[in-house]
Amino acid sequence: MKNLLYEQVARIGKSLSSPKRLELVELLAQGEKSVETLATEASIDMRLASAHLRALREARLVETRRDGKYIYYRLSGPDVAQLWVVLREAAEEHLVELRVALEQMTAQPDTLVSESRETLLEKARQGEIVVIDVRPANEYDVGHLPFARSLPLDELEKRLADLPADRTIVAYCRGPFCLMSEEAVQLLRARGFTAQKISDGVSEWAACGLPLETPGK
């Protein structure tokens, strides 16, 4: 019986033992997506995406719904997104290789906001800074940081006039492994804005018990 108990828990570990499956979990933490969208965003073909998603479904980490000929996936609960955050943070704490890789992802160390999440939230509430969510708009609509504006990366250059020139712009995207906020900061700085980023995505924010804004709330 004891072996059976460990075996059942090990099903979760086995399902997350693939780098691409971890990436799919992170993508699904942003909201429900079709297989086609997941394959495109994870840069894999449809057949491989379906196989990875099947493994996650067998471990009950994701659920599906069908709409016509399309199949949509979503995480089976917010605890799955939190599991991804805890796993990533443990890896960052114990694996120096991961810390080095994360440091190399940031072109300039001063692009990262050094203030606490609570201080950042208060500054956004007071209008001292402008927080922008550079993820696709449909991900913003599922849930976003309080007081954040939706300004998808692919629209940013065309919408610079929407941003105040006299305040710091703080960008965020899907989390520490996402490069969209880094690209946004570099673009904004090149256009004369004072810009920084936070490494948090909505999953990291929620895992710390901080509020998110969601439709109807």
Distance CA(132)–CA(49), nearest Å, equals 30
Active-site entry in 75, 173, 185, 207: 173
As a three-state string, the secondary structure of the chain is CHHHHHHHHHHHHHHCCCHHHHHHHHHHCCCCEEHHHHHHHCCCCHHHHHHHHHHHHHCCCEEEEEECCEEEEEECCHHHHHHHHHHHHHHHHHCHHHHHHHHHHCCCHHHECCCCHHHHHHHHHHCCEEEEECCCHHHHHHCECCCCEECCHHHHHHHHHHCCCCCEEEEECCCCCCCHHHHHHHHHHHCCCCEEECCCCHHHHHHCCCCCECCCC
173 is catalytic: yes
- Measured at the CA of 89, the angle between CA 189 and CA 97, to 5 degrees, comes to 75
Catalytic annotation, residues:
173
